[in-house]
Amino acid sequence: MKVILKETIESLGLVGSIVNVSEGYARNYLLPQKKAVPNTPQNLKMLEREKVKLEIQIAKEKGLAEEIAKKLEGVVCKINAKVSEEDRLYGSVSVRDIVDSLAAQGFTVEKSMVLLGEPIKTLGTFTVPVRVYKGVKPVITVEVVPE
């Protein structure tokens, strides 16, 4: 089913985009939440009328995302972890630990924004990208140190 997005959804696309989604996803989530409208000729005309507003909204979102990216670029998250005598971690450093560390430094980041491929299981310094907006991915440094 084709729908027109009324707001930016990270996994689908930008506001104003025409995307193809399953009928159940559209009927049960996107349409009731008013995040999208069906792709009809009337809604396409409405989209054309609101296109200027949408472009301004996209520009604002991207500008805000780039400001946040500048602040996040080069941030160092120091995470204390319990280690054994052989300097191996008892657990692992996950996305939640990174989000908590960033929150302690004053950055509000959601778990889905942190692009950690797999949990960190060793001591050391790692670089982790953070998806702030589509195409805007600043890189933060995560230092795992013994507790």
CATH hierarchy code of domain 73-146: 3.10.430.100
pLDDT band for position 27 (50/70/90)? very high
Domain residue spans of the chain: 2-68, 73-146
Note the pLDDT of residue 28: 95
Distance (Å, whole) CA 2 – CA 23: 9
pLDDT band for position 61 (50/70/90)? confident
Q: How far apart are the first and last CA of the chain?
A: 52
pLDDT band for position 36 (50/70/90)? very high
Distance (Å, whole) CA 52 – CA 55: 5
Distance (Å, whole) CA 99 – CA 67: 19
Note the pLDDT of residue 137: 82
Residue 6: closest CA among 65, 42, 51? 51
Distance (Å, whole) CA 137 – CA 147: 30
Task: Using the predicted structure, report yes or no on whether residue 16 has a pLDDT greater than 90.
Answer: no
Distance (Å, whole) CA 21 – CA 37: 12
Note the pLDDT of residue 29: 93
How much is the average pLDDT of 45-66?
A: 82
Is pTM beyond 0.95? Reply is no
How much is the average pLDDT of 41-64?
A: 83
Counting residues of the chain whose pLDDT is more than 70, the rounded percentage is: 100
Note the pLDDT of residue 87: 74
**Structurally, what CATH architecture does the domain formed by 2-68 represent?**
3-Layer(aba) Sandwich (3.40)
Distance (Å, whole) CA 76 – CA 139: 10
Q: Over the stretch 78-131, which tens digit does the pLDDT of each residue have?
A: 888 888 887 778 888 888 888 888 888 888 888 888 888 888 888 888 888 888
Distance (Å, whole) CA 62 – CA 14: 11
Tokens 């120091």: give the residue: 78
When the pLDDT of each residue in the chain is averaged and rounded to a whole number, the result is: 85
Distance (Å, whole) CA 116 – CA 9: 20
